[in-house]
Amino acid sequence: MTLDALDPGPNGDFPYLPRTPDGYLDTNVMPIGIRRQRTPDGRVVEIDVTPTVLIDGAHVPITSVLPPPPSP
């Protein structure tokens, strides 16, 4: 069975998330935030690409579980 980055580990944490050497969420592998995208009919829409996980029955942004690196 393969493991997905958003699968919880045996302790309820998320050990398979992509991380930087400093331990932050690797946003080059797993993008987060708002992105603009053009629809087939030409409209521009904003989409939040931040993944969510289910913790205790609630959808929680992955950035609440593992923070992204600080902005320079």
Q: Which sequence spans correspond to the domains of the chain?
A: 1-72
On whether the pTM is more than 0.95, the answer is no
The predicted-structure confidence for 4-45, as pLDDT tens digits, reads as follows 888 888 888 899 999 999 999 999 999 999 999 999 999 999
Listed in sequence order, the residues at least 6 apart from 54 whose beta carbon sits closer than 8 Å to its beta carbon are 60
Q: Is 33 left (phi over 0), alpha (psi -120 to 50) or beta?
A: left
